[in-house]
Structure 1
Amino acid sequence: MFSYNFATIFRLSRTCCRSYQSIASKFMNNIKEEMAKNKELQENKKQLEERLKKLADTSVKEKYMKIQKESNASTELIKHQLNEFSDYVNKLAVSIKDSQIGQDAFKQLKAAAEVAEQVAKQVGDTQVYRQVANTANEIDKLADVRMYSKPEELRMRSDSFTSSFAQRHVDVNL
């Protein structure tokens, strides 16, 4: 049926093998390139790690630690000075309270507070204040404004709740 001579068969087999060789060689070349890239990435990674170690050990870190220690020391100094100042003010207040001028000033402040309390009581006893307070209370009751508070015990929907909606008759709008 088919008459092929040896030269034709040899030529066909060589072209077929060449295409397979070229595919295989391309595949191998791609693998080699990827391996080379991977090696480059590993080298770059090592270089980056070395640089980070160098940065960690540089004088910048030492300076940062020194500044941090100094700031802690200054903070402690400020706290100590504030404590001394507050002790001084407390002693001064006690000495003023014990002195005659301090006692007179304390009596005057006490009298002023009593007068202010009496004035506030008189204002609270007036009809206008009572009316304003009652109106405010009524508005609060009518508005029923209050903060949400979660229930003490959470309740689940009951079957009767869902069944009441299932039995409800709905008219079609035409």
Structure 2
Amino acid sequence: MHTISPRAAERSFDTAHFRQALGQFATGVTVITTRLADGTFRGLTASSFNSVSLDPPLVLWSLSNNANSMPIFTGNSHYVINVLSASQAHLAKLFATRGADPWATAEYELSRTGHPILKGASAWFECHNRSRYPEGDHVIFVGEVELCEFSPSPPLIFHGGQFGSLG
């Protein structure tokens, strides 16, 4: 019979080693976009995206506690998760660059609630900001999907610190 430990065992690795191990997991790449009350658009690149539930339709993503955009996403009722296509690595880099203005060059259209949807994305999910859970050095955002679309274009993949595509 196995006993369940009430605490995690002491770690035998450092943060850099953990980051390298996580880099072996291939992920899709998303840009989370929203619109502020004054009409300004904001967005950020995130690879921490996952489905949670089909009924109700729920997805999740996470954001560092230290991110400058934390107040933007905790304070807004809606956002759009854009799953980037294989040809959109430039957008992933642009939305991840501090001080850059991605909206000067990114092509987008507006969702029914006025939030930006990036043109050419493999899929997008317009979400109500349903709940947030602080865990470790991040906040996990759970979005209830109100509308979504997808295209046959292959997604952008991130693995081992590099962008790529399937096949």
Shorter-chain TM-score: what band?
under 0.3
Q: Which has the larger radius of gyration?
A: 1
| TM-score, structure 1 normalization | 0.14
